[in-house]
Structure 1
């Protein structure tokens, strides 16, 4: 009986501890769950409204249609802004990779004065608020005549793409076996051939991950693009913001369809990034 009562007390103590831990964590999980529900609720509301024929006083819309997207794309010429966003982002991504791969290799393989300072400088765009560097960049671009130009949009995206690509690529290069590079040079390969034949093929997973991530980041860049784009060189996100902040007469489903026109590509690129990252991790693991 004595052993049995001790077992009962032990079980009661464990259950009390479990209950107490649950009660302590309950406010945190309620806060997190409430935040997630609010975000999901707003997203689902915008999604349903963009496809609704009529939605007033009911839980779900009365019907669904694609007509709001058709009207929005024809009235605001969304394809032109979407095309401009893709063109500038693709070009900026390619240039960022061409410039960042050799730079990341130097940072990963060489020691030189001010290396830590330069690495910290490359990380400034991630630590500073975007407005902190967007305002001086916009002022310089207007003085140089680069604002409201196609070239200016590409250059300003490089200010984001190159540092972000460097931060991604440096760990990939540091993980490579330097003995392969030493062996290639001992067999007569110059630095250019060694870099193109030995380093770059091993960096394909890192280059792919870097390309997708900087593409998403540059495609979604907003503040600095808003300040230098002007009315004739607006990217898709700037155009959507301009319409949402200035309109007062458009139906809400049309405004929601404009919002989805920006959200859906970003979500698609994000899921593509996650899928490619998993594939690369599995391949590298093998």
Structure 2
């Protein structure tokens, strides 16, 4: 009896040891991957903090942190580079392009999510072109066309260019949201006499508000940071903030590094802010959809 009990105890102990060794082996196997991810995050975070401390530090020579902090470099950069006017131009272009992209992409996404028709896959492939092709492949021909028809270096031209990026991006964000909606609500509304417009505005659109919000923020970030195609067709009076920052940093000369870092932060801050908002909205939407 005692021998049987001791054998069972020994068997349980061996089983626990085997599970512990297997778990330890899995941890050690994944360790290089996690070390690589942590190292990458630390490098990105270190560079970001370095720019931040340089932009707001009074003096930073040979110490771990600056000796003091000031907003002077940010003020000087804002005045010297006329950042306010570039913000106005960028927000005007991106804001209008975001609204137009949403207006045009919502019905397109609904049709792609709900309907079956010939050449649907070809149309989806067409929408995917801005993601699959390098930006220069379509940026150079578009810039050539815009200069030939007089749309280059104009606000309407820059808005149209942003639509090439905003509409496909918005469509592919909205399609999963539309597919997650229960079509029986739409059938019920139509069976009660609602036309397609009323069914869409009363049933579909209210349920799509989280998706529309997520799409708006994501395409706003995407278009705000668009660089190559805007660089090719923007002029001195229509430069967006990213193009202006690149122009200044590429010809910095003898300008103080802290002021250049302050200039870089004026571009980083809105992008980081909207990125965090986008992540929060995505997390909130996934919890509500039960995914």
TM-score by length of 2: 0.90
Q: State the 1:31 CA deviation.
A: 1.9
Question: What runs of 5+ residues in structure 1 fail to find an aligned partner?
Answer: none
Q: Determine if the alignment matches structure 1 residue 103 to structure 2 residue 111.
A: no
Go from structure 1 to structure 2 and tell me whether the alpha carbon gap of 1:9 and 1:46 turns closer, same or farther (over 3 Å shift): same
Q: For residues 256-275 of structure 1, what are the structure 2 equivalents within 5 Å?
A: 256-275=261-280
Question: What runs of 5+ residues in structure 2 fail to find an aligned partner?
Answer: none
**Out of 88, 91, 98, which is 1:86 matched to?**
91
Deviations, residues 219-268 of structure 1 (Å, cap 9, x unaligned): 11111111111222111111111111111111110010011110011111
Deviations, residues 198-220 of structure 1 (Å, cap 9, x unaligned): 22122212111111111111111
Moved more, 196-205 or 180-189: 180-189
> Equivalent residue for 2:54?
49
Q: RMSD of aligned C-alpha atoms?
A: 2.1
> Equivalent residue for 1:142?
147
> Equivalent residue for 2:127?
122
- The separation in 1 between residues aligned to 2:171 and 2:177, in whole angstroms, is 10
For the residue of structure 2 that corresponds to 1:123, the secondary structure is: helix
Go from structure 1 to structure 2 and tell me whether the alpha carbon gap of 1:10 and 1:246 turns closer, same or farther (over 3 Å shift): same
> Equivalent residue for 1:212?
217
For the residue of structure 1 that corresponds to 2:65, the secondary structure is: coil
Go from structure 1 to structure 2 and tell me whether the alpha carbon gap of 1:19 and 1:204 turns closer, same or farther (over 3 Å shift): closer
TM-score by length of 1: 0.91
